[in-house]
Structure 1
Amino acid sequence: MPETFNALTAAQIKSFIADGFVRIDEAFPPALAEQGRAILWRETGCDPNAPSTWTQPVIRLGGYHDAPFRDAANTSRLHSAYDQLVGAGRWIAPQGLGTFPVRFPSPDDPGDAGWHIDVSFSLPEDDPNYFLAWRANVKSTGRSLLMLFLFSDVGPDDAPTRIRKGSHAAIARQLLPHGERGLTLGQLAADDFASTAECEEVLATGPAGTVYLCHPFLVHAAQPHRGTAPRFMAQPPLLPAYDFDPNLPPSPVQIAIRQACGLHF
């Protein structure tokens, strides 16, 4: 019989609703992280033992479906957490992981360190090839969670993702008047996410095997790598199994939106 347990405590779920993220230690085994890094090193074309080959501040790799990535995304601990935050049966089990922005120690600007949220859909009139035209709406169509999978140890100097704690609430309020059309990333970023500028900044650090499960509206950013060892991290979405159903009890992801917007439920 499959093991059943709750990965997250009630306090952690309450923190997720308030802060917009929860850190899960030992979410997947370090051995899977090591196997995944071996695949990713080959894909970068760089030599892990020759820093002279690390000539770019960041190399973006796509999605990977190899066993280490599938297994890392589907541990019993993570499945339990997905159920607790999104709702049992409301998410699609990941068949792999990606994208991987592999960050290397470098004095150069990586060119992608601006504050943003991860948008998830486009409308027929939008240019699907123009990233700033992709959208988010208050129902978070097309995305249940943003997830950060650490495939290497990440310390404060190793280009950890910067998180604006509680920023998801401001974004929910900003999206509310725009209904199902939502706003494009270009519209959301027009003022550089000024409504979240006073949020406490948290760094997504931890040993390999750590996962941050984040609200889809969480404002976050990359940063330059000031350490010594390359950073390997996946930042995939957790996809919904179906569109928002108002007849179901609200999940913590939805409760966070409703509380931010002052909606009753």
Structure 2
Amino acid sequence: MNEATISDGYVSEFVEKGFLRVEGAFSRHLAAECRDIMWRDIDGEPDDPSTWQNPVVRLGAYGQEPFRAAANSTRLRAALDVLVGEGRWAPLGGLGTFPVRFPSDMEPGDDGWHIDASFPGDDPADFMSYRVNVASRGRWLLMLFLMSDVGEDDAPTRIRVGSHLDVAALLAPEGEAGLPFMDLAERAVPATDHRPLALATGRAGDVYLCHPFLVHAAQAHRGVEPRFMAQPPLLPVPGQGPSIERPDGERSPVETAILRGVGRRLR
């Protein structure tokens, strides 16, 4: 998507495929500033591949000005308003954790297919008990912020196109409680194996806006330059989270996609 606003065609594509790439959501200059800051926290040198010892390095959340600017560009905010609805999503104060991937012959060990969980289970401190329900409680979107150029060999996130529709159908019988992260993955991964594969490639400054039910996975880096990417959720404003009961005319594309997957007739 490279227009100033998202056309109806791109909205329909998001509903059917489960993701939308916003090209040039923020500037390449901002992306470079963010990389410079992150390199300070990496045990390695940007221009010396011999110092890159691990296939993946996980960095903490960053809230410095370049990260806040990237997360709140006018172009990106306009896209979020279209897919979610104005006033329904909480602005980002920065960007979340960064899995920085390095060229390596070692396997990364974190490249399984999954769906990101969105609300806590019985133990809020146990991430593996986090859950997902059919209304996507606690999450509007998964976002992929490309902070470096990402080609097919540079460990782009793998996406099962249209898998969000299958996941919605799996979650529908589970009601408000939904399913724990691991239980959902055990069902959703085989159920979406037939879906075509897409790769989240692009240039630094691009952002992929992904439906929260999209099945996705990391992969090994077989390229040359380290890949920098943030993957924060888009959280709802309190009381303004996704709802599959929202009336026609007020329903967002995220909610429309859920209902499409569940198979309900749109009112």
TM-score, normalized by length of structure 2? Answer: 0.94
Partner of residue 213, structure 1? 209
Shift in Å, 1:22? 0.4
Residue 199 of structure 1 aligns to a residue whose secondary structure is: coil
Q: How does 1:223-234 map to 2 (within 5 A)?
A: 223-234=219-230
The one-character-per-residue Cα deviations of 1:93-135 (angstroms, maximum 9, x if unpaired) are 1110012100000011100000001111113x2x333332111
Q: Which residue of 1 aligns with 2:179?
A: 183
After TM superposition, the runs of 4+ consecutive aligned structure 1 residues lying more than 6 A away are none
Give the counterpart of 2:106 among 105, 108, 126: 108
* CA drift at 1:42: 0.9
Residue-by-residue CA offset, 1:140-171 (whole Å, 9 max, x unaligned): 11110000000000000000000000000000
Gapped runs of 5+ residues in structure 2? Answer: none
Q: Does 1:235 align with 2:236?
A: no
1:161–1:204 contact (8 Å) kept in structure 2: yes
Aligned equivalents of 1:244, 1:199: Cα separation in 2: 25
Range that drifts further, 166-175 or 6-15: 6-15
Change (3 A) 1:262 1:191: closer
Give 1:121's aligned residue. Answer: 119
CA deviation after TM superposition for structure 1 residue 247, in Å: 4.7
User: Residue 236 of structure 2: SS of its match in structure 1?
Assistant: coil
State the Cα distance separating 1:6 from its structure 2 match: 5.5
Work out whether 1:81 is the aligned partner of 2:79.
Answer: yes
Distance 1:164 1:247 in 2: 27
Give, in whole Å, the separation in 2 of the partners of 1:212 and 1:8. Answer: 13
Aligned to 2:190: 194
Q: Which residue of 2 aligns with 1:262?
A: 263
Cα distance between partner residues in 1 of 2:242 and 2:138 = 10
Measured against aligned partners, the alpha-carbon deviations of 1:175-211 in whole angstroms (never above 9, x if no partner) come to 1111111101110122561110010000000010011
Structure 2: distance between partners of 1:144 and 1:43: 30
CA contact (8 A) 2:167 2:188 kept: no
Alignment match, 2:140: 144
**1:57 touches 1:108 (CA, 8 Å); kept in 2?**
yes
Instruction: Render the CA deviation track for 1:14-70: whole Å, top value 9, x for unaligned.
Output: 000000000111110000000000011111122101212110000111211011111
Quote the residue 1:58 is aligned against. Answer: 56
| Alignment-derived partner of residue 28 in structure 2 | 30
2:40 is aligned with 1:42: yes
Q: Is the 8 A contact 1:7 1:78 kept in 2?
A: no
CA distance in 1, matches of 2:56, 2:125: 21
Distance 2:178 2:58 in 1: 28
The secondary structure found in structure 2 opposite 1:43 is coil
| Alignment check: 8 A CA contact 2:55 2:101 kept | yes
* Aligned positions, number: 259
Shift of 1:263: 1.6
* 246-255 or 87-96, larger mean C-alpha shift: 246-255
What SS does the aligned partner of 1:146 have? strand
Paired residue secondary structure (1:180): helix
Identity %: 54
Separation in structure 1 between the aligned mates of residue 136 and residue 252 of structure 2, nearest angstrom: 12
Q: Which ranges of structure 1 fall in alignment gaps of 5 or more residues?
A: none
Q: What is aligned with 1:97?
A: 95
Larger mean CA deviation between 33-42 and 243-252 belongs to 243-252
Structure 1, 188-197 or 200-209: larger mean CA deviation:
188-197
1:105 and 1:258 map into 2 onto residues whose CA distance is 40
Q: TM-score, normalised by structure 1?
A: 0.94
Alpha carbons 2:168, 2:258 under 8 Å: kept:
yes
State whether structure 2 residue 170 is matched by structure 1 residue 170: no
